[in-house]
Each structure stands twice: as structure tokens, then as C-alpha cells.
Amino acid sequence: MAVKVLIVDDSGFFRRRIRTVLEQDPDIEVVGEAANGKEAIERTAELKPDVVSMDVQMPVMDGITAVREIMKNTPTPCLMFSTLTFEGAQATLDALEAGAIDFLPKKFEDINKNTEEGGKVLQERIKVIGKRGLRLAHTRSKDHVVSDKDQATAHSTKQAASISLKKFNLIVVGTSTGGPVALQKILTSLPLNFPCPILLVQHMPPKFTTAFAERMNALSKIEVKEAVDGDILKPGVALLAPGGRQTGIKKSGANMVVELYDAGPEQIYKPCVDLSFEHAAKVAPGKTLGIILTGMGRDGCKGARTLKNTGAEIWAQDEESCLIYGMPAAVAKAGLSDKILGLDAIANDLASGS
């Protein structure tokens, strides 16, 4: 059955281009369009789409307000389109907090040219959200933060044994699609005295990582900041790999220090989980906890193998709590995961282990 989509944007040109791209996929059906948030609310109730693609900035009613109302009245997975500016990033994070499932940068040139990045990525994201996002949309309509409310995961969370994080010198977390919501769940659960340094590698454009780090720092007890070259990895501090560059780690005396460098033309992901995992394997062999969360693709699998070969421990998020079970699935299917846990269980184990 085709995934039904409602396209919401105040630009008629952009709506037509999105429609053209989506209708090239036989597994997607565009059921309608809306020019502002007010129309989006009405048409969502009327057409009952599987996914709403939603612009952030619109007249009459903006996308953030529309998402909030949709999640309250007719919970439906919403994919936000956002401009590549710091302000656009902040607005997108507001939309995620309001209940949106995920976002894509609004790149007019990619959509206009129907490039592979602007076309195939959009099609795949729509299909995955349409198939996986409804359960998460209903959950987020209750508390605006994705968490496993189903009995099986709730049970596993309650029964999760406390662990000691003292055996780890470093925690590296890799994620992509669905990651901002998952990371918020984890970071906001950690206590002020969290004993390990954390490096977060989230596939995200440059200005988005800046805004996301600021948002997480305001919400979390621990310090969260976007990494800069030369930052020391310290207990109780989470450093977020900046978008558009690669984040390595090197030893400087007794310290582990962030080393930023430009990505090579052959590197798809900027930042790349594989590369950060491989650096961690060198500076903290056998003493690193690698965690792979929700995301499309296989980034992190190669690096997880390198880490595992040093005696490190690898956790993977389970399929039930992932928006996209791609990156964790690759690690699990390769036999590299020591634990496969729901999102609540990951947050709980990290918080209780400190």
C-alpha cells in the first residue's frame, strides 16, 4: 500500500517540485497540498495522510504551531523542511519539540534539479516515516519526547541491571535520522556527576549542530557543547561533533583531545560515525563504550568492528524504539552488539550506571 502524503508549504513552486519528486516513486501517493499551517490542520483531519511534509515558516500559521495542533488532535508523523540557517535550525528544533518526527534541510537547488540527494533521500525518508512514524507520532503526542511506552520495552527498562561506567574512559554515540529526539531522551536523563566523557556524532548540517548543542545544554544537567578543535574530553561533558567536518580524537599528555579536520570528497557523512569510532579505538582501546542509535544506512558498523577488536563494548538501539532501524541493524546483524536495548533502557542504564 502506498504511503499517503500531504505537502504543506506557502510556496506553490516548492509544493509542485515536492509533488513531482514524490510521485516518481510508485510507493508514494500525494493526497493533497496546503499553503499554511491552518490549512494543514484542516487537511490532515480530512485526508488522514500517513505523513505530512511541513514547511517551518509560513503565513497565517507557522509549521511549529501546526505540528503542535496536529499532534494534539490527529497525531500524524510530520517531516519538517527547514532553511540552512541558525534561525532555521532553532525553529526546526522547536518543531521537533512540538512533536515532529524528523527534518530535512530545505535545499531548493536539489529539489529543483531533482538530484539524487534531493529526490531519493526525500522519497526514502517519506516511506520510512510513513511506515514507522505513526506509533512514534502517537507517543510524542502524549509527552513530546519519544520514549518506549509499549509493555515489552517498559518491562525491559525496569528489569535492566545497573551497570558500572567506571570501566569506560570514553563513550561515543553515533546516530542519524531520528537522532535529535533520541539524544534528547538520553542526555536529559544523565545526572550532573556523570563520570564519563561523551562524544556525540549526529548526521546534521553545520548550523544545526550549533543550535542543537545549545538546546541540549539548556535542557540537560550535564554540559553539552559543540566541539571545537582542541577541546578536552572531560567527565560530565558531552561534545557534539560539528556538522560539515570530521571529528577525530588524539592523546595530548593524559588527556583525550578533539581533533577536527575537513572531510575528504569520498566521505558521504560529515561528521562520520565510523571515523570517530576508529579514533576512539586508538586513544581508548578496550575502554570505549560505543552506542549506535536510530539512523538510515550503515555508518558506524565498520567503526564498531574496529572498536570491538580492541575489547570495547557496543550497544545498539532496538528496532522497536528506532525511527529507522538501519545503523543499529547493521551493527546487530554483523554480530558486533553486546546489548540491544530500547531507547528508555539505554537512557536508564547510562543514568543508573553513574
Among residues 156, 176, 337, 354, which one is catalytic?
Answer: 176
Catalytic residue list contains 102: no
3-state secondary structure of 79: strand
d(C-alpha 28, C-alpha 123), whole Å: 8
Among residues 203, 279, 321, 344, which one is catalytic?
Answer: 203
d(C-alpha 102, C-alpha 181), whole Å: 8
The helix (H) or strand (E) run that includes residue 126 is helix 116-143
DSSP 226: E
Q: What is the dihedral angle through the alpha carbons of 15, 244, 263, 117, rounded to the nearest 10 degrees?
A: -10
Burial 292-311, CB ≥16 within 10 A → b, else e: bbbbbbbbbbbbbbbbbeee
DSSP 242: P
Catalytic residue list contains 279: no
Catalytic residue list contains 203: yes
Among residues 102, 110, 299, 349, which one is catalytic?
Answer: 299
d(C-alpha 25, C-alpha 33), whole Å: 18
Is 209 in contact with 241 (CB distance < 8 Å)?
A: yes
The helix (H) or strand (E) run that includes residue 108 is helix 108-113
d(C-alpha 197, C-alpha 289), whole Å: 11
Helix ranges restricted to H, 232-339? 273-283, 301-309, 327-333
The DSSP code sequence of 135-192 is: HHHHHHHHHSS----SHHHHHHHHHPPP--GGG-SEEEEEE-TTHHHHHHHHHTTS-T
What residues are labeled active site? 176, 203, 299
